[in-house]
Chains A and B, each alone.
Chain A
């Protein structure tokens, strides 16, 4: 046990002493730094599993943060910085997927599903309305009576157990 600890202490010492990494130096201009931070959240650390460079302790993430800050200082726009990264690392480097033919399904899929499900529902409701139109005038009157009677009973206070 003691030996394990000694070995551990030695290796810990090695690990702790080794990297005197340069911390991130924020840009002096607050607005520029805010832009940099926003970009960091969208840029993926290319060697990590699913981390933005904002979060990752990896060296490449630190390098990329430095690069982004340098480019902002040099006056590049956000779009130019992203385009440069995509040229170097591919679309993979951005957490926002690109908008092109291959990703239309990804971007418009949710809306399409919403419209499809909602449309199906609307069609169902309309069909049902057609079914009810078939009632005769007399039946309609009776139905109105019934519904009116129900309107009174339907008061939520009257049925507290109605969840």
Chain B
């Protein structure tokens, strides 16, 4: 087997054609993006459907070319072709196949190619959309092409993933073992679909600023066109961030799932802006109002995606001084961000005042609630931005080094969000234009009463007693119950015969079910986040085999530790048994410390015992001495109550996005607006 692996490596080194083909396809994609931009601009000016059609063709061909390039890169990784610098730096013949493939998006160069693939892929979908008016679509395809030109040029000229090494090394340096994990193998593609999906919203917003007219039927239609793209990107981003968080939870071995790390914040910013966009686009679609605000958010969401790419890739985040490590790439990305966002927001400042108009609404109305949602989401988004960038700004301004960490966000972001969540259940119950506050209050009384009761029960049930955590439990319950109350109201559940309710359930549009799922999922997440953060228990001690550690109601016994051999690592594997302290329910769990010789790195493999909604989270540390002085291992154990909900909630939210996307009123290419609903 070992010799087989080696042969394959050698064969790969002698099959350079595929790599050359990839490099060629990348150049071709760049040329096609230039053509796409030029032809759609010319097509728009001359009002020529032929030119515009050719631009669409170039967009589709460009996506195919990038796909070919990406496939060639994956082939190079699969074949372990170490004559490609990128493969040599990030792969190794001993690595399992999944991670050879996943390494194709593990480095700066190749993940940038993935970015370009998603960008041109969404661009091709946009080019195929049939229901957009000529001017708007041509402009949007031109903008999307321009983004493609910039990012493909960036890839080609500063970060070519196909750059060669001569002589080729015999063995690669392997992928960072922390990244060799299933959750992280799928995390970047999903995350990028979210980040870069917002580029279509960006292009449509720029196109609308150029083509849009005030006080026309244009804006409701535009809101309708932009919503599916925003929804799809948002759902992808939700799953991507959740997978990343789950990876951090069980791969880093720190017991936490969100650290307010600048890199995490960089992915959270487009999510918050995208969430605001989703809600404001609904108002624009239904009422033709908030048009300029929705456009602004569409520009903002993708700008935050690009800002995130800049922050993460330039090295500016870990330390201001790290910027000098790769100034060329950092400055290029900053230039792309500055040019595209700068131009777009300048256009916005010029055109938005001319686009005023749309329907009026009373403060207490669906529109009013959605505006309030946007106020809070924008403020919390600005808070995250401020907290992420402030240390950089301060250090640049007067050299003072500060840290902005979890306590800051707990004092600023969390109250803002809590306020937003408090009013959330009322939103979907309010009528458009002019709502009835009293009626909504009456319909939510039961949910509110139950939520308060649950908060009290939470206060009694969990030790130590924490008023804020109990209030958080109430808030989570309020979200779920309030959302369910809204559905029950619509279905006339328990008030009409069951058959009648079922009939109503069938006729309820998928979009409404999607909203319900997303809001209830948020409630599920809040419950998990609050209980895990408020009541987790952590203990650490050095244990000799046979000794036991107690964490809350759980007892964890270290049974044995042995050395095991993985495909590309060696590990100390601890076998432990988790039991309830007052007896019963023993369950084995294994935790490892893995050593990867290829990179000389050590990682921890957390042992997770799933107990209902709770996790018993076990980390095997270094060798140490027990209290009695005997040799043993440092074992850390967390009891993370309700941790399951933290990852389940966002998945329900993303499912809600998917369900909404299936609503035929939202589907792309589905012709006309249905008669007034």
Contacts and interface: CB of A to CB of B under 8 A. Distances in A.
A135 B407 CA distance: 52
A5 B564 CA distance: 12
A49 B538 CA distance: 22
B11 interface: no
A114 B418 CA distance: 14
Interface in B394-411: 394, 397-398, 400-408
A109 B386 contact: yes
Most B-side CB within 10 Å, residue of A17, A92, A107, A113:
A113
A103 B254 contact: no
B634 A23 contact: yes
A160 to B, nearest CB: 6
B489 A20 contact: no
Given A1-B2, A117-B375, A157-B490, A95 B408 contact: yes
A1 B404 CA distance: 47
Given A50-B259, A163-B511, A114 B375 contact: yes
A21 interface: yes
B588 to A, nearest CB: 23
B434 interface: yes
Contacts of A132: 360
Contacts of B405: 42, 44, 50, 52, 95-96
Contacts of B403: 44, 91-95, 97
A128 interface: yes
Contacts of B542: 23
Contacts of B255: 55
Contact of A110 (B5, B406, B412): B412
A121 B623 CA distance: 60
B631 A125 contact: no
B677 interface: yes
B371 A121 contact: yes
B677 A159 contact: yes
B386 A110 contact: yes
B382 A113 contact: yes
B611 interface: no
Per CB-CB distance, the 6 closest pairs between chain A and chain B, nearest first, are A95-B405, A1-B2, A8-B597, A55-B254, A96-B407, A110-B383
B560 interface: no
Interface string B375-388: 11011101100110
B566 to A, nearest CB: 11
Contacts of B13: none
Interface of B: 1-2, 5, 94, 252, 254-256, 259, 261-262, 318, 360, 363, 371, 375-376, 378-380, 382-383, 386-387, 390, 394, 397-398, 400-408, 412-413, 416, 428-429, 431-434, 436, 489-490, 492, 504, 507-509, 511-512, 515, 538, 540-542, 563, 565, 570, 572, 593, 595, 597, 600, 602, 621-625, 631, 634, 677
B434 A91 contact: no
Contacts of A150: 433-434
A49 B405 CA distance: 12
B621 A57 contact: yes
A161 interface: yes
Interface string A49-65: 11110010100000000
A103 B318 contact: no
20 contacts: A1-B5, A1-B94, A8-B595, A20-B624, A20-B631, A50-B262, A55-B252, A92-B402, A97-B390, A97-B402, A109-B383, A110-B379, A110-B413, A113-B382, A121-B371, A150-B433, A154-B434, A156-B431, A157-B492, A162-B432
Nearest to A52: B405
A138 interface: no
B227 to A, nearest CB: 12
A134 interface: no
Contacts of A151: 436
A123 interface: no
A149 interface: no
A122 B303 CA distance: 28
Contacts of A12: 563, 570, 595, 597
Most A-side CB within 10 Å, residue of B412, B489, B540, B563:
B412
A7 B570 CA distance: 11
A5 B401 contact: no
B379 A117 contact: yes
Contacts of B397: 102
Interface in A5-21: 5, 7-9, 11-12, 15-17, 19-21
A118 interface: yes
A44 to B, nearest CB: 5
B621 A49 contact: no
Given A55-B259, A163-B515, 6 more contacts: A5-B570, A16-B593, A55-B256, A109-B383, A110-B416, A159-B677
A4 interface: yes
Nearest to B623: A20
A106 interface: yes
Contact of A156 (B489, B515, B621): B489
Contact of A103 (B394, B492, B507, B540): B394
Nearest to B254: A55
Interface in A112-136: 113-114, 117-118, 121, 125, 128, 132
A106 B404 contact: yes
B402 A4 contact: no
B541 to A, nearest CB: 6
Contacts of A7: 597
Contacts of B1: 1
A106 B2 contact: no
A100 B262 CA distance: 22
A41 interface: yes
Contacts of A156: 429, 431, 489-490
A154 B362 CA distance: 14
A90 interface: yes
Contacts of A22: 624-625
A24 interface: yes
